Structure 1
Amino acid sequence: MFEARVASETIKFVDDYCEWYKKLFPEVRSFEAFKYLHIGMISDIKRKTLPAISRVVGLSNEQGLLHFLTESPWKLSDLREARLKLILQVLAGREIILIIDETGDKKKGSTTDYVKRQYIGNLGKIDNGIVAVTAYGLFEGMTFPLSFEVYKPKQRLLEEDTYQSKPQIAAKMIRELQAMGFKFQLVLADSLYGESDSNFLSVLYELQLDFVVAIRSNHGVWLPKGQKVRYNRWRPYNRVFSDGKQEKRYIREIVFGKRRALQYWQVTTDPETLPENSTWFIMTKVPGIKYKEVGNLYGLRNWVEYGLKQSKNELGWADFRVTNYSQIQKWWEIVMSAYLMVSLHAQVLNNNPEQGINKQTDPVVARFPEHEWWDFGSGWKNLLNNLRLVIQPFIFFSLLKPWLRIFPISHLSIGFLTLIALMNRMRGAIPDINESEHFLFSSA
């Protein structure tokens, strides 16, 4: 009887993270491909195509990675459930802000499932492309991905599909996430959801969730006879941005008849001219909310949305080269997993004092910040920059191996292996696998 081959090691923090999901993959080659894709997605290669990823991880071709996405018998639902359970364990019952967003990407032709001419948020216009509704968590300034689902236009429905609007998709996501155990302090969404004629807001009411959503300037409210709309005076406040910078803004409450639990607000940069591009209408259901909080909470959705799009672009969200949605889903789920792997290195998401880049006590790891390109910021992009530095020796060695097979330079190989070993002194920012197995794989 032969023992199963052990999966090849890559970089320790990647291996540590991926170990959480190991039991989901029936083949060792599938588990290796899973790890290689994580390295490729967080690397600094511009386009995360399978040929490009295969080169930076030292594979002779991309066929193994392609097989992992198209043929390997792992289930996307199992991977998503494991990822969400990992987040729940890290949160340990703490509340998060839920951000409902959508992301669209331009795609040529019509062979890819659910691609058609529609509004593409990344482009700010109607074009040929694919759109997904996404749900993200925000905890003390750090974002992490929760769920996604493609929007299926009526004209592109497959035989087994049932049409759902974007707000209906979002409402379903929120139900599922809360049922799984996530606790939401607040829900943030844009005007598509604030103006939805579906059950999106009614679901938030049903689940007793507070929310801040954008509305259109022509938003209407039915008033009893004799009641009027009242515009309160403008109040200045400081809009605080993610980098700590501040900018003066103005806000006023719009009261439809009598003040109710559902409140309406107008925010602008200039109360005299009300510039179209910097004037917003907001609807809130947050007991006791103060006017200063309104502007910054809605502004939070704006900068987080921008950051999410930038982060997904960094990881290759739109770089898939498959046309079947079941395979696109797998690509997107691995992007979400790679995103989470980066987020978990944030200090606010770490409970173990020896986890995360900046909290480890190993004397070798303590010297990592001496690198002249080390980033001392605490945001997601800052973490990604530093993790890219940690995987750099592994990637450079992988790229040089074809030359080293032709010209074997032993001291060069030994030098790279020594440097990689030093990088591997950094532990992965993930709960102990042995302690977490029951949490992850116990039946619901």
Structure 2
Amino acid sequence: MDEAGLWAGELESVFARVAGRFSRVDLRWRMRDYVRGLLAPVERKNGWQMAEYAGHRGPAGFQHLLNGASWDADAVRDDLQQYVAERLGTPEGVLIVDDTGFLKKGITSAGVQRQYSGTAGRTENCQIGVFAAYASSRGRALVDRELYLPKSWTGDTDRCGAAKVPASRGFATKGELARAMILRALASPLPIAWVTGDCAYGQEWRMRRTLEEAGVGYVLAVPKSQHLHGPFSRIDQAVADAPDEAWARYSCGDGAKGPRVYDWVAARLPTIWDFDGDWPTHQRWVLARRSLARRDEFAYFLAYAPNGTSVEDLVRIAGARWAIEEAFQAAKNECGLDQYEVRRYPGWYRHITLAMLAHAFLAAVAAQATERGAAETTPPAPCASPWQKSAGSWMLCCPAPHPTSDRLSMP
């Protein structure tokens, strides 16, 4: 089967996976057309242009899909997490939490107000979405989302009612939204070994406590004023006293311009004993990063890691945070994550969820293409003998063929 056929087959499998969430046949076809439009080379992925691409007479069908039809976006999100677990999941998977801004005009879009947007790098009239992404050696994809509602919204019942915000939805900080998504992800099929995020989330002690109680490792950025127990009251003071020989140079992953190399220092914090007095399975760490070009520029992290974790492992997890930025960029550029025109709360969740589904599909086919390429370009190296010696012990690197292997290769 050619590449186009593989893509088409994979997309059909995605549609089949979520079809049961749409009780009516016409809604299923609209959902399929909507996702195809999000994946299509449409200049701007709004209702009119995607409707034209799909051959519809107007955007009314898509508007109904997002605003009026009966279907559960959270159920589709659950299907999406199952899909990502199957296509991208690995035992060392990392969950990343972060937020992104969606610039908007007016005052009626759910959650909109003048607020700081890291996407714009300034205060703008915008909505803020808090997201979770899953990253592994096979790829990365967005797997959950929550719309941040400022107090100017949650304190105004009439305004919330007009935007179809559920009456049960009260005020929650971005950290609380992220913690809720982490708990959902840990209960999902996603294989998660680590969680990471920037200092807006790392400074949330409840989030760190939740992860420790779940036995999940983390490397979370924290502000320089982060309090530490012991002789140092702040993390920056502890790092300032680190001797020169404690610093080591590591790459925390590849960026657009090659490896991201920094100087790093790490130190274990006092051992955590459990309530039964058993030897602990994890240790807490302090970690700091220093720029090579600007020696006075630091970033600080708190970590919780299984015994035997190396500093290089902690650095790798800290660097994994950039995967969500790459996912945001790809989902916006390729799948119209930010090109919606809905104003009401349910419409936001529906568009964002379908855009995440489209992005997960792209991540899955990219992973499949990479695996096919590796299989085609790196055949197994022949060896004269199946027995090889490594680190003083023997290993069998080329097992004897299965008795029926010649029959399996026959047409």
Bucket of the pairwise TM-score, normalised by the shorter protein: 0.7 to 0.9
Structure 1 spans left out of the alignment, 5+ residues: 1-9, 351-355, 361-365, 367-375, 377-444
- Asked if residue 235 in structure 1 is aligned to residue 257 in structure 2, the reply is no
Equivalent position to 1:190, from 198, 203, 214: 198
Partner of 1:203: 210
One-letter code aligned to 2:175: P
Alignment of 1:271-420 (within 5 A): 273-276=294-297, 279-287=298-306, 288-302=308-322, 304-314=323-333, 315-347=335-367, 359=372
Percent identical among aligned pairs is 19
In 1, are the aligned partners of 2:287 and 2:302 still within 8 Å (CA)? yes
Residues 254, 266 of structure 1: 8 Å contact kept: no
Q: 1:284, CA displacement in angstroms?
A: 1.3
* Structure 1 residue 92 displacement after superposition: 7.4
- Residue 224 of structure 1 and its aligned partner are, at CA, apart by 5.7
Q: Which amino acid in 1 is paired with 2:360? A: L
Q: Do structure 1's residue 142 and structure 2's residue 139 form an aligned pair?
A: yes
Q: 1:64 to 1:357 in 2, by over 3 A?
A: farther
Gaps spanning 5+ residues in structure 2: where?
1-6, 155-159, 161-166, 273-282, 378-411
**Structure 2 vs 1, CA of residues 212 and 21 (structure 1 numbering), >3 Å: closer, same or farther?**
same
Q: Which residue of structure 2 aligns with residue 215 of structure 1?
A: 222
- 8 Å contact kept, 2:252–2:318: no
Which secondary structure state, in structure 1, belongs to the residue aligned with residue 365 of structure 2?
coil
Match of 1:267 in 2: 289
CA distance in 2, matches of 1:92, 1:47: 32
| Deviation string, structure 1 residues 214-268 (Cα, Å, up to 9, x no partner) | 1112222132699x94414322234430569335421123677x57722112212
Q: Is the 8 A contact 1:266 1:281 kept in 2?
A: yes
User: C-alpha distance in 2, partners of 1:150/1:111?
Assistant: 14
Task: Provide the rounded CA distance (Å) in 1 between the counterparts of 2:53 and 2:371.
Answer: 26
TM-score, length basis structure 1: 0.69
C-alpha separation between the residues in 1 aligned to 2:74 and 2:33? 20
Q: Which residue of 2 aligns with 1:438?
A: none
Question: Are 1:101 and 2:108 matched, yes or no?
Answer: no
Q: Is residue 264 of structure 2 the alignment partner of residue 251 of structure 1? A: yes
Number of corresponding residues: 340
Normalised TM-score (structure 2): 0.74
Task: Indicate the residue corresponding to 2:177 in structure 1.
Answer: 169
Deviation at 1:317, TM superposition (A): 1.4
Are 1:154 and 2:151 an aligned pair? Answer: yes
Task: Specify whether residues 357 and 52 from structure 1 end up closer, same or farther in structure 2 by C-alpha distance, changes over 3 A only.
Answer: farther
Distance in 2 (alpha carbons) for counterparts of 1:318 and 1:79: 19
Judge which range, 312-321 or 215-224, deviates more: 215-224
- On the 8 A contact 1:231/1:254 being kept in 2, the answer is no
Cα distance between partner residues in 2 of 1:225 and 1:307: 36
Alignment root-mean-square deviation, CA: 3.0
**Deviation by residue 1:119-143 (Cα, 9 ceiling, x = unmatched):** 2121122221111111111121400
